[in-house]
Chain A
Amino acid sequence: MKLTGARILLECLKREGVEVIFGYPGAAITDIHDQMAETKIKHILVRHEQAAVHAADAYARASGKVGVVLVTSGPGATNTVTGIATAYMDSSPVVILTGQVPTPLIGNDAFQEVDIVGITRPCTKHNYLVKDIDRLASTIKEAFYLAAAGRPGPILVDLPKDIIQGETEFKYPRKVALRGYQPHPEPHPKQIRKAFDLLLKSKQPVIYAGGGVISSEAHRELKALAEAFAIPVTTTLMGLGAFPADHDLWLGMLGMHGTYRANMAVQNCDLLVAVGARFDDRVTGKIDEFCPRAQIIHIDIDPTSIKKNVYVHVPIVADCRNALARLLELAGKEQKSRGKPLVKPSDRQPWLDQIKKWRETYPLAYEQKPDGPIKPQFVVEEIYRLTRGKAVITTEVGQNQMWAAQYYHMTRPRTFITSGGLGCMGFGLPAALGAQVAYPGKTVIDIAGDGSIQMNIQELATAVEYNLPVKVAILNNQFLGMVRQWQQLFYNKRYCATPMSCAPDFVRLAEAYGAVGFRAEKPSEVAPIIKESLKIKKPVIMDFLVEREECVYPMVPAGSSISNMLLV
């Protein structure tokens, strides 16, 4: 049966199980909006296209489904670029549909025309310009497949207006076969065996897990493996929640602002098991001094991540969950044939004792005086305590992000949503909206700074319109805190371009949008405001006026080895 391009597109989305689209309209996509009214797909109208991508990205990270964005051509498309780069750096499955001028006008400097395919080529996993309506359905199917397969990533599909308005027979392909893309989810048995042998022999092992464990839904296997071999576990910022923070084997996050014991454990281990992580520079510090005496096992779905920065002794190209499952199978067999546990507690105890000593020497610490200024770490800890660790946390970027990572102890995956790879300020509020759409019943809290929150503050309108009762906790120090910290520590406190003396009254701003606002100026006001906000079924801004010149510690100065942490 003959359908218009717009109908075909929506039929494809329906078959892909899409329930919600984040977007912003425009001339190029009016036909799509017209047809959307007849479907069951919910359209969330944001107030800036960048926020649409962040929201769809967070929706994907929270739900495990592919996030979908629909924006118009020209400025609508260019406004998505920052959001796309964010999703790209964090390997998040998002499909971005952009309108485009009619095909005869492409390349003519037409009204609201941009070469978005050219602009996003380096920051999408793949992108398409649909020039033939008969290829529309298969392109959409490919886009959804690629977004989620192997190492996930953002896929952009550019839709010229004449394609959307055209007509053809609708046929939805049953499967996708891409000659150039064959992900490799099953590990090579020989590599698994090699890894297993190293695990048995190791005296001071560490597991270093990243975002890949969460995308692969491998958190149960990770815990089982850590327990089977009694291996302490650290995660990256993207991996927080992949391993429960209340577990005995938890080391805390590692890297530039990781815990003392996590960095020391990694630097002193004899075996590093890297799972679903990519040895990013925030984690490794000075590469040639990273992990000096260990053998390294690296499990990752993406072969380009393996041996990109760090030499790997046992590379395993596979989906994390499969690789960990195969290791567990071997462990089960070995344990059965031995008739006793694989690791004698006395074998591992010296290592665990050493780690305990590191923890006791330099724990994460700050001092909240009852009559002093509010400490930002105290705010995060109170939020943790009063939500009993069960909220879904999104963050902005900078000091607020690091304190959230350090002081909100995640125990489950898909509950900590942050811009890790790109470090994109303005991510947190739209991300909270996306997460709230994915988890309508849960408490979703954006931990923000006064700088970051203003980058997408207009999304308060979206929150109020769709009644997404997110809570925003602003750690308000009237500074761009992280840069100020660097200026304090390395540039002799020359605070240039970091103080922000003018800021809106966030309480009145919240109310102006139809949300609720609270302010705390004393430590005693913190808990009551949080408790009150959690009870209100509307969006809430909590403006916490915190200590202005507080620093995030530990800190590994850029270019330093992670053994050299500034601790106070």
Chain B
Amino acid sequence: MAGLFSGRGFNIESLCVAETLDPNVSRITLVTSGSPAIVEQIIKQLRKLINVIKVVDLTETEFVEREMALIKVRAEANFRAEVLRIVDIFRCKVVDVSPKFYTLEVTGSAGKIEALLALLSHLGIEEIVRTGKIAITRSKK
């Protein structure tokens, strides 16, 4: 699938894969961008792959999206309290502590993660690992 995207010049912004309830079936959540014609081509080309069972475009639908990030942030003496205050405000967690760094775990919408990163960047982000978005449709009310 990655070969399909690179071969045809489509863009992968993020990609997340794992098993579903059926261990023979995996679910891939992929974020891409392009004109409507390009997006239509992407969907059709994905459907053409023999191993792809179904392709759903969530963009225009109602859906819940989440992403997780692990952020290693500088936390030397004078910053430590500030970091912990931000952790509190964003309701994320500290999962690792060392004299120089805190590692934070945050889960939420893209907006929440971007906001957290913006604040933390003033303090000094050492390393960051993101999962990429996963999404699921909202059920009909």
Listed in ascending order, the chain A residues whose CB lies under 8 Å from chain B are: 121-122, 125-126, 146, 178-181, 302-304, 307-308
| Interface check B130, CB cutoff 8 A | no
Known contacts A125-B50, A126-B50, A180-B49; is-contact A304 B41 (Cβ 8 Å): yes
Task: Decide if A307 touches B3 in the complex (CB within 8 Å).
Answer: no
- Taking a contact as CB atoms closer than 8 A, the residue among A180, A303, A307 that contacts B50 in the complex is A180
| Interface check B131, CB cutoff 8 A | no
Query: With A and B bound together, what is the CA distance between A307 and B35 in angstroms?
Result: 13
Query: In the complex, what residue of chain A is closest to B51 when comparing beta carbons?
Result: A180
Known contacts A121-B3, A122-B3, A122-B7; is-contact A304 B50 (Cβ 8 Å): no
Q: How large is the interface on B (under 10, 10 to 19, 20 to 34, 35 or more residues)?
A: 10 to 19
Query: With A and B bound together, what is the CA distance between A126 and B53 in angstroms?
Result: 14
| Interface check B91, CB cutoff 8 A | no
Query: With A and B bound together, what is the CA distance between A104 and B50 in angstroms?
Result: 27
Query: With A and B bound together, what is the CA distance between A555 and B49 in angstroms?
Result: 37
Query: With A and B bound together, what is the CA distance between A302 and B49 in angstroms?
Result: 12
Query: With A and B bound together, what is the CA distance between A125 and B51 in angstroms?
Result: 11
Task: Decide if A308 touches B41 in the complex (CB within 8 Å).
Answer: yes
Q: Which residues of A contact B4 (CB under 8 A)?
A: 122
16 A-B pairs in the complex with CB atoms less than 8 angstroms apart: A122-B3, A125-B50, A179-B53, A180-B49, A180-B52, A180-B53, A181-B50, A302-B48, A303-B44, A303-B47, A303-B48, A304-B44, A304-B48, A307-B37, A307-B40, A308-B41
B2-28 contact mask (Cβ, 8 Å, vs A): 1 or 0:
011001000000000000000000000
Q: Which residues of A contact B52 (CB under 8 A)?
A: 180
| Interface check B45, CB cutoff 8 A | yes
Q: Which residues of A contact B47 (CB under 8 A)?
A: 303-304
Chief secondary structure at chain B's binding surface:
helix
Number of cross-chain contacts by CB at 8 Å? 27
Query: In the complex, what residue of chain A is closest to B4 when comparing beta carbons?
Result: A122
Task: Decide if B7 touches A304 in the complex (CB within 8 Å).
Answer: no
Minimum Cβ distance to chain A for residue B126 (Å): 34
Q: Which residues of A contact B45 (CB under 8 A)?
A: 304
Query: In the complex, what residue of chain B is closest to A124 when comparing beta carbons?
Result: B50
Q: Which residues of A contact B50 (CB under 8 A)?
A: 125-126, 146, 178, 180-181
Q: Which residues of B contact A307 (CB under 8 A)?
A: 37, 40
Given A122-B4, A126-B50, A303-B47, 4 additional A-B pairs, CB 8 A = A146-B50, A302-B48, A303-B48, A304-B47
Query: With A and B bound together, what is the CA distance between A214 and B40 in angstroms?
Result: 28
B57-101 contact mask (Cβ, 8 Å, vs A): 1 or 0:
000000000000000000000000000000000000000000000
Query: With A and B bound together, what is the CA distance between A307 and B45 in angstroms?
Result: 12
Q: Which residues of B contact A178 (CB under 8 A)?
A: 50
Minimum Cβ distance to chain A for residue B47 (Å): 7
Q: Which residues of B contact A122 (CB under 8 A)?
A: 3-4, 7
Query: In the complex, what residue of chain B is closest to A181 when comparing beta carbons?
Result: B50
B3, B41, B48, B52, most chain A CB atoms within 10 A: B48
Query: In the complex, what residue of chain B is closest to A150 when comparing beta carbons?
Result: B48
Query: With A and B bound together, what is the CA distance between A307 and B53 in angstroms?
Result: 22
Query: With A and B bound together, what is the CA distance between A179 and B51 in angstroms?
Result: 8
Query: In the complex, what residue of chain A is closest to B49 when comparing beta carbons?
Result: A180
Q: Which residues of A contact B7 (CB under 8 A)?
A: 122
Query: With A and B bound together, what is the CA distance between A180 and B3 in angstroms?
Result: 18
Q: Which residues of A contact B41 (CB under 8 A)?
A: 304, 308
Minimum Cβ distance to chain B for residue A74 (Å): 22
Q: Which residues of B contact A308 (CB under 8 A)?
A: 41
Query: With A and B bound together, what is the CA distance between A199 and B53 in angstroms?
Result: 36
Query: With A and B bound together, what is the CA distance between A5 and B65 in angstroms?
Result: 48
Q: Which residues of A contact B44 (CB under 8 A)?
A: 303-304
